[in-house]
A and B are shown apart, each in its own frame.
Chain A
Amino acid sequence: GAVVSQHPSRVICKSGTSVKIECRSLDFQATTMFWYRQFPKQSLMLMATSNEGSKATYEQGVEKDKFLINHASLTLSTLTVTSAHPEDSSFYICSARSSGNPTDTQYFGPGTRLTVL
């Protein structure tokens, strides 16, 4: 199946700093990318959907100025957590889908564990 990578896999930062997480589709062009966060023992919560070259569509309750999403190319999307605080500590997972994929499967990255001290 298609491969989606995330970098870094784990990051620890001080409160008030900004953290950037990269999501790449390695062997296909991702026309749409999604960013999720997951709390322990809970399901995934969609944060935003981004289409290449367009502004991201954020879910209700997600602060777009705090979670900056850029989808500048068909293989790369970034999530920047600005002025991170301890409550932003979570597992962030990206996902990608290609419009050219006949099965329309959505592929997920391995996740990034963010810990804000």
Chain B
Amino acid sequence: KQEVTQIPAALSVPEGENLVLNCSFTDSAIYNLQWFRQDPGKGLTSLLLIQSSQREQTSGRLNASLDKSSGRSTLYIAASQPGDSATYLCAVRAQGAQKLVFGQGTRLTINP
């Protein structure tokens, strides 16, 4: 059974810092991995999707990496801004599966 873990559960950093969020998964037979952002009381916004054959994806200040063999993904946020404050969720889709398995999320606070 696939399990997804995100560390840390919460993170607070000053504005302008670069930061890394971590996601690990137990079964490396994945189809893809997706990073989402969730603001309080809102739905999820897809940030980046990495296919199993890819190593990384970039969008603006965000860079997500994938290391299937070690069961890890990282989300790198450059030059953080207060507007980046949200909960970040990582989700894995297994080979042959329909559903996503979510981590518990990292609640990020960027302090002005």
Contacts and interface: CB of A to CB of B under 8 A. Distances in A.
B46 A106 contact: yes
A9 to B, nearest CB: 10
A34 B42 contact: no
Contact of A106 (B51, B100, B104): B100
A107 B91 CA distance: 12
A95 B93 CA distance: 14
Contacts of A34: 98-100
Interface in A25-78: 32, 34, 42-44, 46, 49, 57
Given A104-B49, A105-B34, A106-B34, A46 B43 contact: no
A115 to B, nearest CB: 13
A107 B43 CA distance: 10
A21 interface: no
Given A44-B102, A106-B34, A106-B100, A111 B49 contact: no
Interface string B51-83: 100000000000000000000000000000000
Nearest to A5: B43
Given A44-B102, A49-B98, A108 B36 contact: yes
Interface residues of B, number: 22
B89 to A, nearest CB: 7
A32 B98 contact: yes
A108 B49 CA distance: 14
A111 B41 contact: yes
Contacts of B34: 105-106
6 contacts: A43-B102, A91-B41, A105-B49, A106-B34, A106-B100, A111-B41
Interface of A: 1, 4, 6, 32, 34, 42-44, 46, 49, 57, 91, 93, 95, 103-111, 113
Interface of B: 31-32, 34, 36, 41-46, 49, 51, 89, 91, 93, 98-100, 102-105
